[in-house]
Every structure is written in C-alpha cells, then in structure tokens.
Structure 1
Amino acid sequence: MFDVLLSDVRVMGREGLFDIGVRDGHIREIALAGTLAHSGKVLSGSGLLAMPPFVEPHIHLDSVLTAGQPRWNESGTLFEGIQRWSERKPYLTREDVLARVDEALRWMMAQGTLHIRTHVDVTDPNLTALQALLELREKVRGVIDIQIVAFPQEGIYSYQNGRGLELLEEALRLGADVVGAIPHYEYTREYGVRSIDACFDLAEKYDRLVDVHCDEIDDEQSRFVEVVATRALERSMGQRVTASHTTAMGSYNDAYAYKLFGLLRKANIHFIANPLINITLQGRFDSYPKRRGLTRLKELWQAGINVCLGHDDIMDPWYSFGTGSMLQVAQMAMHVGQMTGRQEAMVCVDMVTERSAKTLQIEDRYGIEVGKPASLLLVDADDKWDLLRRMPPAQMVMSRGVVVATTEPSKRQVYWTSREGMLGDGGREVDFRVRTGSPVSVSEPRA
C-alpha cells in the first residue's frame, strides 16, 4: 500500500502519535499510530516531532564561501562588502560557483532546509553565476526547490550607464524566477524609483514574482518601501511582491511609520528580515546608542503582515560566519527583535517555515498534509518553543519520500564530584529538555 511508512511520530500542531503513509513521494495517509497497514519500508520515528522542512527565503548562493577572497571586509560595512564582491566577480567560473554552492546546499540540507530563494548578481556582462545556478537548479530539482532572483547588485540604472536593465531582462529570458532591484544603492532617488518601475514592468511582462532589496541602509530618509508597496497596490500584485531587509524602517519616526503601516496593510506585500547579517552590517556609522539594524519585525507581525526570516549570507564578503542553520536565524530574530514572549518566540519558527513558504508562493506543495510531497524533518523537540530554545538537529530529513540526510544526536555525560573530592560511580547523561506548561498544584494557606 505504501512505499514508506513513517511510524510513531508526533506531528507539529497535533496531539498524539501518528503513522504517515508515503507513496510515490507524496503523503497518502496520516493516521493514529499502529492503525495503518503496510508492506513496504518502515521507518520508526520513535516519538520524535515531525515538522515541515525549513524554508530559506533570502540568501545569496552565488557568493557563499568566498569570505576573504580576494580580501576581507575589514570595516564590516555593506558598502565594503559590495566592493570586495566586485573584486571577486572577475574570478567567477562555472566550476567555481557550482563547487561552492554544492557544498553550501549540503550544509543546508543536512539541517533541514529544502526550499530556497537565492539572489544571483546579474550585474556581470557574462552572467556566469546566473547560468551556473540555473544549471544547478535543474540538477537538484526533486530534492531541493530553488527559486532564482535576478538581482542587479550594482544597480539597474547606475551600472555601466544603465546596462543593468538589459542584463536584468536577459536573466529573465534565461529562466530566473523572480525580478530584483536595489533602489537605495542607485545614484539618485530618481534612479531608485525608476528601477522599481522597471522591476514591476519586467515582472508583468514575464509573469514573474518581485523581490526588492529595499532600504538596506541606516538612512531614515530612505523610503523606497512606500514606492514598492504603492506599485504593488496599483497593479494588484501584493502577494507576488516582497520587500527584503527594509532596515531603514527601524529608524523611521513613529508618525511616518504609522502612516506607512496603513499602506503596507492595503498593499499586502511580504517582508523578509535577515537578522544575522543586518545587526552586523547596520549601525556601523553610529557611535552610541547604536541601532540594531533590524526592520520593525515585531510590529509587522502584530499588524498582520506576512514577515519571514532569511540568512542573506554565509561566509562571504558581507558576513564571514554562518553554518546554514535556519534555527540560528530564528533564534537571533527572537533576541534582537525582543520577541521573547511565548507566542512571539514560537512565531519566529513560523517565520522560517510556513511564513516563508507563503512568501515563496509554494503553499500548495508545503506542509505535512495528505496529498502534499512527503518532505519533512524529525527533531527531538516538544514543540516550537522547545525547538527554538534547544535548537536540536534534524535527526532525519526526508525529501519527497526519500531520506536525504540524517544526524546522530550527541550524548553528554557529567561526572559529579563529591565533597570528599572523589568521583561518583559513573556518569549521568544530561538531558536539556524541561517540560513546560504542566499544571501546578497550589495549596491554599491555612487561616
């Protein structure tokens, strides 16, 4: 009946133990544990939590693992990062890009990321990285889903006297899935507005999604997000449009922000914050107090606007660290966004799973539901809160019914020393799990 039966798992958002029947790479049935007949392969979940895979909505795969090449970003600023990347681009080759991205994808897949939106710099006359990523997208299709954003890193109208527009359109003709722009990096505000208009025109012409690097700067006067939202509203494209970064929003005065949020709710666009990178890139020109460099993450969520979280960079000219862990991204957002209330913290997990899936417009094939691809993770966690607190590894990663990665859980032993200085009889394993939310019995004081 089933090719694979995943038995005795807990499913995120449900109570109890379940069996999940998989056939032809899709979930065919979910039932109480022990009730599904089977004749194929049985994988015991041993009470682990089954959850949908992580979704990476914003990363630059073309630049991964290039930190220090040819020089390190010593100032740590966005602008030096762009300069270092412009020095690295002439050395790009198909083999170079494929080798680095293949390594990064393995890191990400091992930690449960199976859906990725990557920005690829198309301000390159040869479009070397784009063509390599297009090739790799097809190679990994069926295991990892990759969306490619044609991203004009050095501007549309500011690059080589406007040649950025020609290269951007060529990238779409070659097969890029999403149109990008970077209006705050253009020479003038007028160029910035024109670049947004060009982005939307191309999206309509080629039936593509839109993802704009928007106001990734500390300048409180950088207000291109209002232009992006207005164009989305005017063209009825809201759910197809994303504003990434929007770090300047953290510096807007509250009166303007109040007006802006009214527009954002009407426009119904998506937002992506990148906490690991923006808290290090932004605020570099501040003395004290220093700004966090993050958009109004909590306020966007509270306003009912879809907001999610991405890496942005892994070991490249903008950020020399990173392992590809989406849980690390979520936990950093929880801290710098001051989202430490129980519901606030748990929604940070949503921001790297279902909310990101909504941004990428892949909801029809995402989630642990009958009829959808059998792509899921098994983790040793009680719930989203526990997942975020302990950040346990994905012990099993399944993509379309096939196990593509496993991780052996670590084991810690503590050998307690008595007051007499003698070691106790053997070690005791340490378990960091703490059950929360259990009822507490409280006795009334006697009169």
Structure 2
Amino acid sequence: MPLVRCRRIRESDAVSTPLRRLRGPHYAWIVAGVSFVTMLGAAGFRSVPGVMMDPLHMEFGWSHATIGAAMSVNMALFGLTAPFAAALMDKLGVRPVVVTALTLVAAGTGLAVFMTDAWQLVLLWGVLVGLGTGSLSTAFVATIAMRWFVARRGLVTGVLTAASATGQLIFLPVVAALSEAHGWRTATLVVTAVAVAVIPVAGLLLRSWPSDKGLAPYGGASMVTPAAPAGGAVRAALAGLVLGARRPAFWLLAASFAICGATTNGLLQTHFIPAAGDHGMPATAAASLLAIIGVFDVAGTIASGWLTDRVDSRILLVIYYLGRGLALALLPSLLSPHVAPGLLVFILFYGLDWVATVPPTMALAREHFGESTPVVFGWIFAAHQLGAAVAAFGAGYIRDASGGYDPAFYVAGALCVAAAAMCWAVPRARATTTTPERVTV
C-alpha cells in the first residue's frame, strides 16, 4: 500500500482547482535548480574529512582510526536519517525540513572551531552534520524527482545526484588550500558560510508539490494533490522498511548500494588523500585529483541518468561495478609522489563512475515500489552510508595496523564484483502503473 496517497483531479474539479497556464519554464525546473544549489551547499562539508585528517592528527594527536570513527558516525547517520527525512517531508513539507537540515550543517561545522576533545568531533562532525546532510541525501532527490517530474525523471535524478557528489569534491582544492595557508579552522568556517548562504534560497523558492503552484508535474496531464499522511513520520519511515524488506529486490539493491558507499565515500573520499600522502604526494595535489573526480562526476552522473531512461538499469550497474572493481585493484600500483598518466586515467574513470550508480538503482527501486520509492529508497541509501561508515573506519584501522592502504583497495575491488552479481540478480518488476507520458522539451 503506498505510503503517500495521491488523487488525480477530475475534470469536474477543474473549476475549483484550475491548472495554471505556463509562461516560461515549468516551475519544476526552478525547484530542481534550487535543489541542486541546496545540495551543492550542504555537500561542502563532505569535502572536509579527507583534507582535515592529517591536520587534526598533528594538532590533537588523534589516530586515523579515531578520526575515521567520527566520520563513520557521520556517514551512518547520513544514511539512517534519509528515510525519516523523506517521511518528514511528507508530513511537514519539503521547505522546513531542508532549512532545518542546512542549519544543522552550519552549526556542526561552525562550532567545530572550538573543539578540543575527540568526543566533540564525534558530536559536531558526526551527529549534527550527519543528521543535516542525511536530510539532503538521495532520498531528497527521489522526493523531488517523483513529485515534480513525470518525464525526464532519470535525467533529473542524475543532475541532482551529481550536485551532492560534486559539491563534496569541488570544494576540496579550496578547503585544502585554505587549511594549508590559514589552518583548518578557517577552512571549516568557509564551509559554514556556504551552508548559511544557501538557507534563504531554499526558504524562498522551494515548494513541496506542483499543486502548491497550481501545476501538474512536468510531463503530466493533470494536477496531483497529496492526501495527508497517516500516522507520524517515524511510523511512515518504518512502514517503508517493512514494505521493502518483503521483496528480494530491496535486499539486493541495498547490499549492492552498501558496496557503492564503501568504495566511494567511505574509502576513496575519506582516505585517498592520506593514502596518496603515504606515497609522497602533497595533500594539495591529492585534493586537486579528487576535485577532478568531481568535475567528471557531473558528466558521468548526468549521462547515467540519460542512459537510465533508455537502457536496462541492471546492465548499467553491472558495467559500473565491474569497471570500478578493476580500477580499485589497480590503484595501489598507480600511486606515487607525482601525478602519472596512469593515475590520471584512474581519476577520470572514477569521476565518470563515482555516483553513476544512483540513477539506475533508483529506477529499479521505482519499478518495484512506485509511489513509496522516496521512503523505501531512503532505506536503500541508508545501506549505502552504512557501507561507507564501515569502510571509513575499516580502512583507517587497516592503515594503523599494516602501515598502508593497499589491502583495503584490494578488498574493495573484490566487493565490487559481488555488487555487479547482485545487481544482475535483481528481478524485473511486473508492470503495475501506467507508462509516464512523454513530452518534448
């Protein structure tokens, strides 16, 4: 039974709730644009941990495992918050949830300049920022794509997903340069300022449903008005978990997405800079390479969204995971004090592949769960971040125990092969909804 119940306006209702005639672009594209900027701003913090690991280690003496544990809390909450945030958006609306989330991100990063103990790192960067960024994750993307778009959902999903991942990576050179020149506190305050600047944009322009503007969704023929959700947000989020847990597709998607998180946010984003540093590469050079990943991630994720509208999502995921696994297995042999051509090839490929998995994974979830996709996908994304949390701590532990990251990269490569097999095993869903109407932009 769908978690969000909607009804289509009948012709007899047209007098009381007329559709607005559009002049200019559909407001759905404005909402998508604001969502892109919002996720870009919130993602600024996601670039901080990899750059800050060595400065925090040198100033406070905290081990890589201790700092990685704080990042694990952040990543776990980043994922576990998603389904509850999606349910809260159903109950309270998109705008208040987004504004609150940005405020939490700003508070967590801003107060961090005063921390002196490791527990404060866990509270601020782990808990507060984890809750804030988790409310602006791919469950938010699913909410916007499902509500505002009938046509071009795959493309919109790719663009918004790119905002989150790219925002994490394009901030890296700035954060690294500021940290090196003025200290990590100055860099952290810059990230805080970005999150604060986005708050009024989201507060002024975001809307929950097309019906709030008297519109049908983009590509839809009739306006959809939401029914009031039954029960509280916690109940709705748990109902989404129960709904998903009844189907094998949920477990296959969740497990493969956990590996996706482990091999991107958890391993490469958190530990690439210190791993490169172990081979003599300066932190600013390693940060610039991650920024290049962010640039190519835009193209890769948007292209993946375009392909998702046209190609079997399972085939796309198999290709993405097998390619990623091969790249990770080769990475230890590519790291050196200098940026060699082979490492550049790795960076370009990993950029194209970074979150290209999101549009086809979300499309498969939509095939199986329909209108309940935002909340159910929130739980699938929670698995993504739990995988990232395990990798963030586990790779740091391996580094402390063995003196290098090579074993972590080899294990991650093998896991990607397992993820490809899981995605291929996802069953095709039976057609239970009408085919979305096609429009021409």
Q: Which TM-score applies when normalising by structure 1?
A: 0.23
Instruction: Give the greater-gyration-radius structure (CA).
Output: 1
Q: Which TM-score applies when normalising by structure 2?
A: 0.23
Q: Greater share of helix residues, 1 or 2? A: 2
Q: Greater share of strand residues, 1 or 2? A: 1
- Between the two structures, name the one with larger relative contact order (CA 8 Å, sep ≥ 6): 2
